[in-house]
Amino acid sequence: MEICISPYLPHLIWLWGKGLSPIQTRKVVFPRLFGSLGRRALSDSELEDKWLDECSDEEEEGWEDEGDEGGGSDEIPAAETGEPVALQTLEELRGLMTLGVETTSCLRVEYRGFMLLLLLTISTQELALYGIHSTPEVEVERQRTLDFIVEKGRRALAELDVCDQSSNAASKAEGMLKILEEFRTPRPGSNAGELAVQAKLSEYRISQCRDSLQQLQHWVQNSLPIPEAVSKRALRIVISTRIAGKSKIMGHMNTKSWVEELQRQHNFFEIIEPRPQGTRLTPRTSFRKEIRRVEKSYTRLARLLAEDVRAALNQQPAELRLKGQHQQGEHRQQQDRQSLQPQHHQLTQQTAVNIAGTGSVLRPAEEPANLGNFVGVMSSHASRYPPHARHRPMRTRMPSWLRPPMRQSTQPPRHDPRQHSPPTHPERWYLPHCPVGIGPPLDPLILLRLCRAISTFHVRRHCPLSTRVVIPK
């Protein structure tokens, strides 16, 4: 049996003596041969290798972040259980999955399967963490989120193109859905003590990732292809979220052992990689230092994404920008109309009831009431007026957009030979005294205007309800 000693062994020993981790050593000594060895989860294609290499520095920090499991909790107030933040984070996770699936359709074909795999990996990491750090209410919400992610992921996987379904990323996404089902049963002996710390860190990661995808909605809502520079920048943020979630799993022994056990059962090592033997452990940083490091990374990536989005929008033709603004305005107007329809219906019905109670019917001036069919309309105060005053409607000037019903004059008018032929005006309305229920159907818009006129001119005060209709025999 021959034993081959690598000529790079002295370099390896020297670098290990400098305190570099095995992954950092491989990256320095074998930059091309082992550039993706420590990132096998998503690096089988050259495209994935290129993206992951840009985030390798953050991933190296994740390998060295493991230590004792109790660090960082002393900076969270003891009264905070973390349950509200955890529930909000699970809701944010569902929103992230929805936005990600919608964004996938506007990416290039070769990016779609990779994006779906990243979303499923992030979701699996978070659901695994909340399977260890949980409460009864959080567990109920975790099960609901798991069902939502599985359904959304299967539907998105089925909608991928045929050529993309056969890609390596799509096949891994299918395997991720299978192993995600295994996390349905929570780990025995859940630790709710660190829920506050984990929930705050998790909520920040998910919200930052979701905000990055929210900036792409201009292209998604208009069904436009996302520029490649913008899509790559957004993918870097999603990749960073996946790396940060993996580092948290590697930093908690219970979660790490649970994930590794399920990965060995399914022969699927895409959530975390098997840890190389002999890796040096370093103490975990405090919560404040850890959140500061994560904020610094996300702030830089978010600033670069905002610059790329701004540059892409400035290069976009003005017609497309106006089209997007016009569609957003129409969407808001449609929502406003839908919210006002129930109020419009209720107001119309109430107006009709109020008009019926006054004992009068509104008629346009072009269709005067046929007063010859009635002997007269007598009221409790009608004896003070001449006969012609009881049948003649009075006219009052009014705005051009509204012709409200007229009130009856308190003084008897002068004798007019045309008193039995009421003058008509093509733009005026009047209220003839006629039996209740007789008249043409009214337009709802007219009823709304009439309701305002009734409140303005106090028709109820001048149209007493004690009217009596005399029908000729």
> Do 305 and 380 have their domain in common?
no
- 130 in any annotated domain: yes
> What is the predicted pLDDT for the residue at 289?
85
Higher confidence at residue 248 or residue 393? 248
> What is the predicted pLDDT for the residue at 321?
56
Most confident of the ranges 81-95, 178-192, 323-337: 81-95
Listing DSSP states for 37-89 in one string gives: GGGGGG-SSHHHHHHHHHTHHHHHHHHTT---TTTTGGGS-TT--SHHHHHHH
Give me the long-range contacts of 345-349 (CB less than 8 A, separation at least 24): 347/448, 347/451, 348/444, 348/447, 348/448
Higher confidence at residue 428 or residue 32? 428
Report the number of distinct structural domains present in the chain. Answer: 2
Higher confidence at residue 330 or residue 128? 128
Backbone CA torsion sign across 242, 243, 247, 253: positive
Proportion of the chain above pLDDT 90, given as a percent: 34
Kind of pairing between the strands at 363-364 and 376-379: unpaired
> Do 312 and 364 have their domain in common?
no
> What is the predicted pLDDT for the residue at 403?
53
- Does residue 398 register a pLDDT over 90? no
State the residue range of the domain holding 382: 359-405+426-470
Phi, psi (deg, nearest 5) at residue 377: -115, 115
Q: What's the pLDDT tens digit per position in 406-421?
A: 554 555 555 554 555 5
Cα gap 127→94, rounded to integer Å: 11
> Do 260 and 121 have their domain in common?
yes
What distances in angstroms separate CA 193 from CA 132, 135, 138, 197, one per listed residue? 10, 10, 13, 9
Using alpha carbons only, what angle is made at residue 374 by residues 370 and 375, rounded to the nearest 5 degrees? Answer: 135
Query: What's the token pair of residue 73?
Result: 């909790």
> Do 145 and 234 have their domain in common?
yes
Q: What is the mean pLDDT of residues 83-112?
A: 94
Q: What's the pLDDT tens digit per position in 320-356?
A: 555 555 555 555 566 556 555 545 545 555 544 454 4
- 350 in any annotated domain: no
Q: What is the mean pLDDT of residues 434-438?
A: 47
> What is the predicted pLDDT for the residue at 237?
96
Cα gap 66→246, rounded to integer Å: 11
**pLDDT band (50, 70, 90) for residue 427:** very low
Decide: helix, strand or coil at residue 239: helix
**pLDDT band (50, 70, 90) for residue 371:** very low
Query: Lowest-pLDDT range, 22-36, 82-96, 166-180, 358-372?
Result: 358-372
> What is the predicted pLDDT for the residue at 254?
87
> Do 309 and 378 have their domain in common?
no
- 79 in any annotated domain: yes
Q: What is the mean pLDDT of residues 214-226?
A: 94
Length of the chain: 473
> What is the predicted pLDDT for the residue at 229?
94
> What is the predicted pLDDT for the residue at 209?
96
Higher confidence at residue 80 or residue 248? 248
> Do 282 and 369 have their domain in common?
no
Backbone CA torsion sign across 15, 20, 26, 30: negative
Phi, psi (deg, nearest 5) at residue 357: -70, -20
What distances in angstroms separate CA 30 from CA 58, 317, 459, one per listed residue? 19, 46, 93
- Does residue 103 register a pLDDT over 50? yes
> What is the predicted pLDDT for the residue at 110?
86
Listing DSSP states for 17-36 in one string gives: HTT--HHHHHHHH-TTTSTT
> Do 221 and 78 have their domain in common?
yes
Asked if 116 and 153 touch (Cβ cutoff 8 Å), the reply is yes
Last residue of a domain, one of 316, 350, 381: 316
Q: What is the mean pLDDT of residues 65-77?
A: 46
Q: What is the mean pLDDT of residues 380-392?
A: 44
> Do 301 and 372 have their domain in common?
no
Cα gap 279→289, rounded to integer Å: 23
- Does residue 66 register a pLDDT over 90? no
By CB neighbour count within 10 A (0-12 exposed, 13-18 middle, 19+ buried), where does 336 fall? exposed
